[in-house]
Structure 1
Amino acid sequence: MTPDTSAATSADMIHDRIPEIARDWHREGRGAALATVVETWGSAPRQAGSQLAISGKGEIMGSVSGGCVEGAVVVEALEAMEDGTPRLLTFGVSDDTAFSVGLACGGTIRVLVEPVGKAMPLSMLDAIVDARAARKPIAYGITPDRWERRLLSPADLPDRFRSDRSGMEETGEFVALFNPPLRMLIVGAVHIAQALVPMARLAGYDPVLIDPRDAFASEERFPGTVIRHDWPDEGLLAEGLDARTAVVTLTHDTKLDDPAILEALKSDIFYLGCLGSTRTHAKRLERLRDAGVPEDQIARIHAPVGLDIGAKSPAEIAVSILAQITQVLRRG
């Protein structure tokens, strides 16, 4: 089922497609430059890796600040497109100016500006866009003092990819990460899922609900949600399982949860959480061992699901689940 995407969500999706937009503008002959936040100090509004695309006509998409330096970046980008020279810009936001653009106090921002096809090779931008389309993590490394560039994989900087952390290396190389969007595949259209789906979306996940029971997994109960009425293991396979995916099983029904768990454990998803009491989980472990699942794989399961915060209501349990997923994503 295709979700009825709101205007706000559409805007968020556009702002996450900055490399694609820059490439499209370049291919259309409009000219394009990419501006990327390299470093920040103080109360900076955007983190390292944030990007702004600028066309040769002065069109922009994305952001490198709260609006306080975009105008100056656009001017520099237009000049860079003319002379083909990249720039590393430094902007200071005073305490007096900071409040008007939404900051508590001043800060400093360094922004890299690269004209596409002249400084930034089109082949590298193509590789980044293609990797994003295929949900393959990739990073762009550049050493500003020599303008050396390279593409990187998770094998090169595993900690950065795991923590989604663009930034400067001690070697002087800036690394801009392009991780695939986070996804949460939720098995079981239960009350907890009704709270977890919107929370996941707010936290930046693309949630997908999997439940073969039409009465439970309905548009009325889950408006604007992608729903798969497949058997859970088939639904997971159809969506695809990778290192940017979290799986949560909530049906409390072994016929539905167990096939999903077995399929999830074959993949490299970063999180697998399963609803159920300690006794329920103990029985689950017996079934998994009987099925021949190795202990190191069984140890990947978070159960009872969620951080122990004393949650009682479905919404509180959903909070605990999302908190645990965030903890595993950011801390490993």
Structure 2
Amino acid sequence: MAEDLERMPELALAWHREGKGAVIATVVETWGSAPRAVGAQMVVSGAGEMEGSVSGGCVEGAVVVEAMELVGSGAAKLLDFGVSDEEAFAVGLACGGRIRVLLEPVGGALPVAVLEELVAARAGRRPVAYVADLDGPARRIDGPAAHSDRFRMDRSGVEEDGRTFVHVHNPPLRMLIVGAVHIAQALVPMARLAGYDAIVIDPRPAFGATARFPGTRIVEEWPDEALAELGLDPRTAVVTLTHDPKLDDPAIRAALASDVFYLGCLGSSRTHAKRVARLQEAGFTEDQIARIHAPVGLDIGARGPAEIAVSVLAQVTQRLRKG
């Protein structure tokens, strides 16, 4: 997903409803060096307002001018910017390159009903793809099954037919960390750098102190209650780190009953064997229990909280990208 997609679809819909008019500009293809990835967006209103970014320098300015001319019209427009090496630095394409930007007026090329469906799906954390025919008027919303590889890799792009643009809108990634321990202190900033909204869950106030996790959301409820409140979905990873069955087990049971893409649990092989016995006694099947990554993290010989956090994030990434 291109740099989190910000909230460009929501803003475009709001401006349209306010009567300002809106055009969404989307990067559909890049070659060579490009400052923004495929899927990056900018919105321009009929009042001259703009938010977001599709590139830098004169490309950005040219896109705004073209978008202003399309406000209130019905047609889409595909812009192709080729940049020579001599001009590259001024535009932001450090090694030269080329980008294509699709302009779609809301209420014209981009039907309001389709945009509303997209915004509703994003609000509900439902993964969807906006599919546009670059050579025609067809616009639709698809589910993950139609583009499974693109969803797994968060990769928007033009299909092999050269005219079908698939814009992946995956919900933001989340990592719910049960246990405000030393490993969590190292894992939270790493997870953020990797694009996760990291949330720490620990009902023990001394552990979940703000001073230990500055700028981090800390939920002080019992883990199963916290997970139920936060919601669990295929864009969520759950990591349990307390070593205390009273805290870890409720979270594990909740995660196993959901469709989170990753569940990792700290503890030795002996600790995990006892955990498995408890889960079997609670009625969980072998297939369900096999979803647990334990001991948590890739086996890289990690020592100390920071290295263990690296191994955990590596394993989460492996699971997310390779399935």
| TM-score (ref. length: structure 1) | 0.92
Pick the aligned partner of 1:290 from 278, 281, 306: 281
> Secondary structure of 1:127's match?
helix
CA distance in 2, matches of 1:71, 1:299: 53
Which residue pairs with 2:174 in the alignment? Answer: 183
- 1:46–1:65 Cα contact (<8 Å) kept: yes
> Secondary structure of 2:71's match?
helix
Q: Greater shift after overlay, 263-272 or 154-163?
A: 154-163
Does residue 21 in structure 1 map to residue 11 in structure 2? yes
Deviation at 1:303, TM superposition (A): 1.4
Which residue pairs with 1:243 in the alignment? Answer: 234
Pick the aligned partner of 2:45 from 48, 55, 64: 55
Q: Where does 1:111-190 land on structure 2 (aligned, <5 Å)?
A: 111-171=101-161, 172-190=163-181
Which residue pairs with 2:21 in the alignment? Answer: 31
CA distance in 2, matches of 1:239, 1:296: 25
Paired residue total: 321
Deviation at 1:104, TM superposition (A): 4.0
Pick the aligned partner of 1:227 from 218, 221, 233: 218
> Secondary structure of 1:83's match?
coil
Structure 1 pair 101/278, CA: closer, same or farther in 2 (3 Å)? farther
CA distance in 2, matches of 1:76, 1:43: 23
* Structure 2 unpaired stretches of 5+: none
Q: Where does 1:89-128 land on structure 2 (aligned, <5 Å)?
A: 89-100=79-90, 102-128=92-118
Q: Greater shift after overlay, 127-136 or 165-174?
A: 165-174
> Secondary structure of 1:69's match?
helix
RMSD (Å), alpha carbons: 1.8
How high is the sequence identity, in percent, across the aligned residues? Answer: 68
- 2:75–2:109 Cα contact (<8 Å) kept: yes
- 2:184–2:309 Cα contact (<8 Å) kept: yes
Pick the aligned partner of 2:194 from 203, 211, 220: 203
CA distance in 1, matches of 2:277, 2:90: 60
Where do 4+ consecutive residues of structure 1 move more than 3 Å? 12-15, 99-104
> Secondary structure of 1:212's match?
coil
Q: Greater shift after overlay, 74-83 or 31-40?
A: 74-83
> Secondary structure of 1:307's match?
coil
- 1:188–1:250 Cα contact (<8 Å) kept: yes
Deviation at 1:82, TM superposition (A): 4.8
- 1:15–1:61 Cα contact (<8 Å) kept: no
Encode CA deviations 1:191-225: one digit per residue, 9 max, x unaligned: 11111112212221111111111111111211221
CA distance in 2, matches of 1:158, 1:302: 23
- 2:41–2:52 Cα contact (<8 Å) kept: yes
Structure 1 pair 320/67, CA: closer, same or farther in 2 (3 Å)? farther
Structure 1 pair 82/256, CA: closer, same or farther in 2 (3 Å)? closer
- 1:18–1:51 Cα contact (<8 Å) kept: yes
Deviation at 1:14, TM superposition (A): 9.6
CA distance in 2, matches of 1:326, 1:46: 22
Pick the aligned partner of 2:64 from 71, 74, 78: 74
- 1:21–1:53 Cα contact (<8 Å) kept: yes
Q: Greater shift after overlay, 236-245 or 311-320?
A: 311-320
CA distance in 2, matches of 1:277, 1:184: 22
> Secondary structure of 1:261's match?
helix
Deviation at 1:45, TM superposition (A): 2.0
CA distance in 1, matches of 2:314, 2:91: 30
CA distance in 1, matches of 2:57, 2:256: 45
